[in-house]
């Protein structure tokens, strides 16, 4: 019995409407999936990232002189590329002045054949850490 209380009819062709409906649904779903892939409804953008740390742990009472130049160039038609740089510059010990220099360049060229894509996402994480260590001032 079905939910209305009627008995099921047993027929060799009773599965045909269900089969036709299922086949039609799967065909439509497949076509929609292919169409969305062809029309490019979602496309990955490009990412440029620079992650670095510059630190100084010393007995110097002068602040560390740091130069961290990061140049990132992207295009409005970039798609699916990633460029990541990482770096660590450190000084441990001493009492003199510390100088740290760092230069990074990222560049994505225009893709003139692409009609899709988007602006490039740029990420910078560059902490600078100074720790005064009085023990470096001790004379033995």
Report residue 15 CA to chain centroid gap: 49
Q: What is the pTM of this model?
A: 0.62
Contacts of 134 (CB under 8 A, 6+ apart): 59
Q: Which pLDDT score, from 0 to 100, does residue 78 have?
A: 82
Contacts of 107 (CB under 8 A, 6+ apart): 71, 72, 73, 74
Same domain, 73 and 111: yes
Check whether 124 has a pLDDT greater than 50.
yes
Same domain, 51 and 31: no
Nearest to 136 by CA among 100, 107, 94, 80: 94
Q: What's the chain's average pLDDT?
A: 77
DSSP type of residue 113: T
Check whether 5 has a pLDDT greater than 60.
no
Q: What is the mean pLDDT of residues 119-131?
A: 91
Check whether 50 has a pLDDT greater than 90.
yes
Same domain, 55 and 124: yes
The answer to whether residue 88 sits within a structural domain is yes
Check whether 89 has a pLDDT greater than 70.
yes
Full domain range(s) for residue 61: 47-137
Same domain, 76 and 38: no
Q: What is the mean pLDDT of residues 102-120?
A: 77
Q: Which pLDDT score, from 0 to 100, does residue 9 have?
A: 53
Q: Which pLDDT score, from 0 to 100, does residue 71 have?
A: 94
Domain count, the chain: 2
More confident residue, 118 or 12: 118
Report residue 41's pLDDT band, with 50, 70 and 90 as the boundaries: very low
More confident residue, 107 or 77: 107
More confident residue, 51 or 78: 51
């Amino acid at each position: 019995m079905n939910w209305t209380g009627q008995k099921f009819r047993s027929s060799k062709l009773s599965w045909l409407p269900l089969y036709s409906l299922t086949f039609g649904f799967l065909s439509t779903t497949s076509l929609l999936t292919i169409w969305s892939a062809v029309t490019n409804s979602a496309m990955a953008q490009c990412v440029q990232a620079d992650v670095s740390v510059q630190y100084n742990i010393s007995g110097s009472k002068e602040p560390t002189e740091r130069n961290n130049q990061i140049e990132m160039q992207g295009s409005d038609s970039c798609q699916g590329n990633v460029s990541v740089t990482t770096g660590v510059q450190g000084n441990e010990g001493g009492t003199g002045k510390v100088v740290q220099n760092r230069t990074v360049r990222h560049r994505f060229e225009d893709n003139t054949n692409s009609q899709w894509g988007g602006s490039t996402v740029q990420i910078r994480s560059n902490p600078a850490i100074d720790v005064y260590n009085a023990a470096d001032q001790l004379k033995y």
